[in-house]
Every structure is written in C-alpha cells, then in structure tokens.
Structure 1
Amino acid sequence: MKMKNITSRAALCSLVLITAAGCAKLDEKLYGSKSLYGNNAGSAELNGVYTQLYGQTDQANTYALQEHPTDEMMGPTRGTDWGDFGTWRKLHTHTWTPTHNQVNDTWDQLNIGVFRATQVISKATDNNIKAQASFLRAYFMFQVVDLYGQQPMRDPDAPTSSIPTVMKRAEATDFIIKDLEFAEANLAATTANIGVANKAAAQALLAKVYLNRAVYAATTVGGPFTFAKADMDKVIEYANKVTAAGYTLEPAGKYFQDFAWDNSEQSHGNIFGFYNTATSSPAPAKNRWRMGLHYNQTPDGWNGFTTLADFYNSFEATDERRGVDYPGLTDKVGLRAGFAVGQQYGPGHKALTQRSGKPLIFTPDVNLNFSTEAQGIRVFKYFPQPKADNTVNDDNTSNDYVILRYADVVLEKAEAILRGGTDPMGQTALQLVNSIRVPRGATALTSVDLAAMLAERGRELYWEGWRRNDLIRFEKFNDPVDQRPAKTDKSKTIYPIPQRAVDTNPNLKQNPGY
C-alpha cells in the first residue's frame, strides 16, 4: 500500500518560499473562487484557509504524527503492503529523522495554513472574517508548536528578500492565545454547521492551549512540567463557556452518533470539524475506516493500521466505546462500530475469509515488521452508510469529520481540576469523568488520579488525533509499548525541524537530539 501524497506541487513551492530566505506573495489563485462553506465563511480567500485544513483527514502527516508514536496505533507491514520505506515503523518506534517524509510534509501543510490565514487577517476589514482566519491560524499554529516547538512567521507584504522570523514555543503559545481571544470576541455564537468556526470552537481550543501551556513553557523538552493554577482556571473557564453554549454529552447507547453518517443531525457534542454531505464531501472521514478494513470487507479497504492489544484490553467488556452492533450498519454489511477483533462478517452475516481462503479472524497479536493480512485489531470509529442493497459507495460520505468535540472539553476540565484548578460550578474531577463513563456502560470510578485520567482520555478519544499530545502532557509518551520495548529519550516528545527548512532559514535552530 503506497502512501497517498496530498501535498501538491503548488503547496510544496509555497512552503519553500515561506521557509527560505525570500518569499514572494502567494498567488491568489491558490485560494480558488468556489465557496465551500456558503455565506458563513464570507470570502473565497477565507475558504482557501479552510481548505488547507483538509489534510487533517488524511491517514498520514498530522494525524500520523499524533497517533502512530503512541500506545493506541501502529502500521504493520504486511508482506509487500504498507512497507512504504519504513515511514510507519519509524513513527511507532520513535526513530524518525529530520528527513522523514511525513515530518517534512506535515511542516509544509501546517505552515502553508498559517501563511494563508495571515494573508486573510492582514487584508480583512470584516471582523467576522478576520476572526475566522484568526481561529484557523491558531489551530495551524497550535499543531506546529505542539509537533515542532518553533513557529516561523512572515509578513505577507514583506519583500521577497526577507527571512521569516521564528517564535519559540512559549512566545508562539502566547500568540495563539491572542488570536483565539480575538476570535472568541468576534465569531458568531452559532453557525450553520461545524465546518465554520464559532465562539465555542475558539473556547474549546483555548481550553486545550491552556491545558498544554506547561508543556510549551517548560525549560526542558519532555518535562518535568509545572501546571500553573491560573492556566488550569482558564481551562475551566473556557470549558464552562462551551457548556453554557448548549453542547452536551451523548446519551447512553449513543456514543457513536458523534461519528456516524448522520452526525450532522444527531450529534449534541461536535463543535468544529468538516461538514460533509452525501453529494459533497470535500473532507471526508472515509480514510478512517479504509485504513483498517480488509480487502474482503464491505466496503473493501486498505488493510492497514491496527490498535495495540494492551490498549484494547483497557476497556471493560460492557463499555460501549469498545464496540457495538450499530443499527443500519452491522445488520446490512456486517461491520461493527468500534474495535474489530475475531471472526469478521459481511452482508447476510456471512463469515468472511482472507484472500487465501482462511477465515478472516482479526487477532490481537501483530508484528510491526511482518504481519499476515488478518493480524491486528482494527478500529472503525467512523463508518459508512450502507445502501439498500447492502453495498457501500464511499466516494461521497456524509459523516462530518470532527476536530473538536464536547467530551474532550469535559475531560480537559476534569484534568484541570485535578491539576489544581478551581471550578466555580463546584464540580469535581470524579463527577466529570463518571458523567462520561457511566452512560457508556463502564463502571463508575470511586476515585480518579492522573493515571486514571489519562486512561479515560484514551478510551473516550481514541484515534481522534490527540493521543500523543495527551501522553506527553502526562509524561508517558516515552514509555515502552508493544513493538517498542525500550523507553525512548525525551527529545522524541518533539519532532525535528525538517532539514531543508533549517538549511534555508538561519532563524530556525534544530531541536535538541537531532
């Protein structure tokens, strides 16, 4: 299986301009003129910034850098499939270098987003447009700061001979907060769909930034971290604002409706992401099921990524999040929502086989360097809508793709309380964690500590692109996991700056350990 290349020639050239000694003004044609977000986004130029977010749905780059190095995902090589010159193995084993293809491509994608948003901000006269661009710039910058620890910046009107300045991690974090504060003050309270940023989106991202501020302000990469009470109080403040906006947790038995094909209509907690319909899905969620589906399942997939057995075993058997028969899905094409292990079935509950004819039984055991096509527990958090004839055409899929959702905000508030913050509403970390666990069929906890908090975040937010961020904050990122038996150095909590970026911008300094 070859990696899908989602970096266009135009995007790559733009990045070289951004990080090199000179930078020409980007051609407005890069934005396009077709409105993808209706009247809410407000301009074709702003649509171009939203469009740059589409790379977040790919199985590679930002998503891969945030998930593969963790305790919940790996990409095993299966014969000649998924070798890809070791790109997935190097991520899981923490053996990447400054020339790693996905380290390079992610840097490109995110920094192009920062630059495009900056262009819009510099020219916008409408505060709502400027606020949306500020939110989007903050999101791109948050990912750059989280992954790389440095943020190059360049004035769009600067001469081509200018060299981009570079903000260090703490300085860039303060910049992100200012962008989000402006966005919160000027965004609409509600929007037509999750594809357009509103006040709650800014508040949810502010909560996440403040929760991680200790990581970004630390004098030593990888910790130890000191969580300031003032920052934790800010997490709680913004979490309470999101609650006041009307977002709620899904009721018992409805966990997967945040990800299903009708989540636009059914979700109570999705705050920001990509809006898709059955006739127009510019940023579809289909990669999330294709990357694990076997070739003989319906729909067929790429037979790639798996979870780790230890992570799967962290769920109670009664926990809905571990996996359920989903009406309209399981009864039609055999897929279950959540984790897939054991004998797999197709339409008509027919037991499926591998290409060799052996039973298609997904097994917990998996080897990163060589696995058979049936090894590894798969994950189908998102899933397609079958047609009446029990087939699936996933060229266009109506699942909204979710970046920020309310359950994450609730757990962030609980963690902030546990780390010393004060909630004016009087809630406790234990109450908040159990408000998520109990409706899912998990046993109510009698106490909660940091270890329990990290575990619960994993069970609630698995495969949503936040696990690396969480593990680093809890100082567990470098711990041994399956297929990575030795503890790794703390320098791996941050990725290297791509070597070609360092070579072309003297203001960039390579990160420690590289």
Structure 2
Amino acid sequence: MKNLTLKIGMVAMAGLVFTAISCTKLNEELYGSKSVSTGGAGSASDLNGVYAQLNGQTNQANTYALQEHPTDEMMGPTRGTDWGDFGVWRKLHTHTWDAFHQQVSDTWDELNTGVYRATQVINTSGVSTQNKAEASFLRAYFMFQVVDLYGKAPFRDPAASSDANPIVYNRSDATDFIIKDLEYADTNLGTTAVAGHASKAAADALLAKVYLNKAVYKASTVGGPFTFVADDMNKVITYANKVIAAGYQLAGPGKYFDNFSWNNSTLSQEIILGLVNTSTNAPANAHNRWRMVMHYNQSPSGWNGFTTLADFYKTFEPKDERIGGSYPGLTNLNGLTTGFLLGQQYGPGHVALTQRNGSPLIFTPNVDLNYSTEAQGIRVIKYFPQPKADGSVNDDYATNTYVILRYSDVLLMKAEAIMRGGTDPNGQTALAIVNNIRTTRGASELTALDAKALLAERGRELYWEGWRRNDQIRFGTFNDPVDQRPSVSDKSRTVYPIPQRAVDSNPNLTQNAGY
C-alpha cells in the first residue's frame, strides 16, 4: 500500500497548544511587527509542530474556503438568519472580497505561520538531513499556497534581527524558492512512504503542480495571458512519471469513494499525502466536510450550509460513479448517500426526513445565494462518517484520512502537460490518460480532448478537494460569470489582497493591484 499519512500525536498537539498561547508576537512578526522569539528548533517535536500546522487545511474556512467558494462548484447561501456571517461566504462567491475579509486575513496568518515554523527547523544548527528535507517539503507546501492565493510571499529568517521587517518575494522569485525547497526534499527524502513523514512521491507530486502553474506565477500580468512552455510541461511529465513508478493505483471500478471513507487509509492506494485521524486522536478531523452541508435533521446533525451549483452537477453523466449513490455500511444503516445529495433525504431505518417545519426534506437544484430556504441547493458528500449499527453517528473522532495530494490528480496533471505541448517519454497521450480515468469511474470515453474538456474532467474527478480555483485560473475561466454571479469579474481577482493590517505593519509589503 502506497499511502503517505501524517499522524500527529498528543505530545505534538500539546506543543502546538503551547505555541498557540504564546504566538501573538510570532504572528505579528510574520506580517510586519518587530518582535519575535527565534529560539532553536529542529528536533522531532519541532518538526511535528510544523506537520500539525497542516491540520488547518481541513477547516471549512481559510485555505479551503478561498480555493473553493469563488469557483463554479461551491457557494455558501444565506438561509434566513443562518450562514449570514456578515456576508463573508457571499463575498467569496461573488468576487467582492476586500483586504479586510476575515478568511483572507486568517488564511494569510495560518499559511505564513507554517512557512516560519518550517524555516525554524531548516535553519537549526545540526538539524538532521531527514528533518531538514521534511521541513523543506512542508515549507514549500505552505509557501505554494501563499503564492497561489496572494501572489507574493513574506519571508523572515529566524536568525535575522528582531528589528528587521520580513523581506517579500515577488511571485516569480517565490516560485523559484519553492522549487528549490522541493528539489532538496526530493533528493533527500526516502522512497518509502512512512506514516508521519513526507516522501519523494509527495515532493514529486507538488513539483508537478508547481511547474504546471509556473506560467501563471511567472506571467507579467496577473490573470494572464499565460505562456505554457514545453520545458515546464516536460518537467510536469517527468515528476508525474516518478509518482506513477512509485506504485500508486487508481481505485478500481465502483471504488471511487473508498478514497474518502472512514477507513480510506487502508482501502485507498491513491493517497500520496494525507492527514491521519484515529478513533482516539483526530487532530485533522474531516467531520466538517459533511457537517458543513448536511441538514439539521440528518444524522449526524449538520450545519446546513454549503452547496454546489446546478450547472456543475449537470456536467456528470448518470453512470459516472463520481456522482455518488449508496455506499455499503453507510447508506444501509444511516440513510446517507455519497456524492451529490438531491431529492428526498433519508435517515436511519430509511425513514424519510423532514425539514424543521415538518415538510419533506427534499434538496432542490435551485438555490439563491442571498435568500435560500433550508432545503434549497444540491449538497456534496465527499467524505462521510462511519455509522454505528443503529445508524447513528458519533463523529467527534472521525477516522477518515484527510487527502491533500491524490494519484488521479497527478495523472490529470500529466495529461494536461502533454496537451499543452509536453512530450511523454513513455508514449502516453493525454486522451488515453483521461479515458483511463473516465472508464475506471464508469463514464464513457471521450473521442477528443481540449482545454474545456480537460478542465471539466478535473472538476468531476477532484471536486471539493480544494483545487478548483487553481484550475480555473490556469484554464482562464475563473472570472467567467456563473449562476448567482452574472458578470465577469476583473482579472485582479485571480489573487487575493494582502490583509490590510499586514500592509500597514510591514513597509516591504505593497497591496496587490485592484485593491
């Protein structure tokens, strides 16, 4: 089994709690203040603290929200007094955020904290090659998200004077920095995926993603046009082939949702990078992924929040297993199905559920971003809980491994690189790669492949996994109108603003154009 999982023990979590109590100055330093403790790091416990910072990726807010809500596959409708939240979700979907938006600010803090903690480990005198390689991978991942979302990256050397403001890398230079970190990790990490540690395959997969997006990050104008050069596309293919050679496999026919089940750490051979949760220790608990969509009267009781868009749902063929349906051990006990929830919903014992007013709980395709009823909108169940024998669920310690990098993503990146002018030394074609995924998932073969078809396929395979914004920007569709956003948005929206308090506190930071 080729699963890479990151398991954070209670000792590491205790250390993280301590850090959270004392990190005010750290956060201020990262974004402009001039006082921070830069004590030594580099031990296993220090590295575990960097890994623990990844747990924030499972939050339904922050990085995940910024990567999904502005796209054509997710929205957060307001339902009466529920989910108003001062418009934070609506503003993301309508591309009307500003430099004071809560998710914009919180994500900046969270990701840059990860960069800083990893740098502390890397810069420690005497740090082992293994720890340095793992920390280099983690720093690259956090900085990749910063560069992708904000277009520039502040950086503080822990050895720098406490009076010095963090330097700021522009998008191009930060991309080169990320590649250098990942090359070091790729050279020095082991080939075996061990729970709690990064591997060569994780570095290779992220290198492929960086090179695939290099045209976006090196563009002279934010939002494009983008020039995908053959050398970069060949790099994508090279690194994708390394992952393929490591022995990962697509989930077989009828097994797509095994990648996200409560025992996906043993069922799935697609997980390259993931965060492990157990029945006694779930620091990266994925339960918000179902609670953020499920109705109050479903089991477990949800928060009745986010939905997909009807137009996105319509891109699936009826026989495509990725659209969802019954799942053994879930639906027969709990009534919940996987994938897209549409129509009458059922609970344990196959009891037809009702809304709070007693009317049938029938999820409908129509949804209004500003004024939805509690049953409007198609819900999405990608991860799902493990029911008890009576169908009830206690998901305080949900055991789903949270997936960050997945094998099918690597295959689709390779297909895209070939389509954009790269050459595969193994002779595969982009169409053959895509059709292999489609037929494995129960969908019909395509007869031709272009950019529109490949973006649609990435959506069907990777929906709600946190990559849609990144994909849409690269394919030039991010600013296009969608249901509930009728107008084209400005290309400046392809990066978020730097939080205003960060700009105010660090003279090396300048605000992004358009904000």
Aligned amino acid, residue 359 of structure 1: P
User: Deviation per CA, 1:148-200, whole angstroms, max 9, x where unpaired?
Assistant: 0111111101111011111000100000000000001111212333x421110
Aligned amino acid, residue 32 of structure 2: A
Aligned to 1:376: 377
Q: 1:92 to 1:13 in 2, by over 3 A?
A: farther
Aligned amino acid, residue 376 of structure 2: Q
Aligned to 2:401: 400
8 Å Cα contact 1:196/1:272 also seen in 2: no
3-state SS of paired residue (1:151): strand
User: Deviation per CA, 1:210-266, whole angstroms, max 9, x where unpaired?
Assistant: 000000000000000000100000000000000000011111000001100111101
- Residues 186-335 of structure 1 mapped to structure 2, 5 A cutoff: 186-193=188-195, 195-335=196-336
3-state SS of paired residue (2:416): helix
Q: 1:72 to 1:186 in 2, by over 3 A?
A: same
User: Deviation per CA, 1:39-87, whole angstroms, max 9, x where unpaired?
Assistant: xx96000011011111100000100000000000000001111000000
3-state SS of paired residue (1:167): strand
CA distance in 1, matches of 2:38, 2:250: 42
Aligned to 1:15: 27
8 Å Cα contact 1:90/1:96 also seen in 2: yes
3-state SS of paired residue (1:184): helix
Shift of residue 9, structure 1, vs aligned partner? 6.2
Aligned to 2:4: none
Aligned amino acid, residue 151 of structure 1: A
3-state SS of paired residue (1:70): coil
User: Deviation per CA, 1:117-159, whole angstroms, max 9, x where unpaired?
Assistant: 0000001521110000000000000000000011111110111
CA distance in 1, matches of 2:372, 2:437: 35
3-state SS of paired residue (2:213): helix
Aligned to 2:509: 508
Shift of residue 14, structure 1, vs aligned partner? 2.0
3-state SS of paired residue (2:473): helix
Cα RMSD for the two superposed structures: 1.5
Shift of residue 389, structure 1, vs aligned partner? 2.1
TM-score, reference length from structure 2? 0.95
8 Å Cα contact 1:338/1:381 also seen in 2: yes
Residues matched between the structures, number: 497
8 Å Cα contact 1:149/1:169 also seen in 2: yes
8 Å Cα contact 2:43/2:121 also seen in 1: no
8 Å Cα contact 1:57/1:285 also seen in 2: yes
CA distance in 1, matches of 2:429, 2:409: 16
Shift of residue 412, structure 1, vs aligned partner? 0.2
Shift of residue 23, structure 1, vs aligned partner? 3.5
TM-score, reference length from structure 1? 0.95
CA distance in 1, matches of 2:219, 2:273: 29
- Residues 3-402 of structure 1 mapped to structure 2, 5 A cutoff: 10-26=22-38, 43-123=44-124, 125-193=127-195, 195-402=196-403
Segments of 5+ residues of structure 1 without an aligned counterpart are: 1-5, 32-40
8 Å Cα contact 2:32/2:165 also seen in 1: yes
3-state SS of paired residue (2:123): helix
Q: 1:10 to 1:467 in 2, by over 3 A?
A: farther
3-state SS of paired residue (1:324): coil
CA distance in 1, matches of 2:81, 2:252: 44
3-state SS of paired residue (1:145): helix
Shift of residue 405, structure 1, vs aligned partner? 0.5
Q: 1:298 to 1:26 in 2, by over 3 A?
A: farther
8 Å Cα contact 1:12/1:108 also seen in 2: no
Indicate the larger mover: 435-444 or 408-417. Answer: 435-444
8 Å Cα contact 1:343/1:360 also seen in 2: yes
Segments of 5+ residues of structure 2 without an aligned counterpart are: 1-16
CA distance in 1, matches of 2:475, 2:141: 22
8 Å Cα contact 2:185/2:203 also seen in 1: yes
Aligned amino acid, residue 309 of structure 2: L
CA distance in 2, matches of 1:458, 1:370: 27
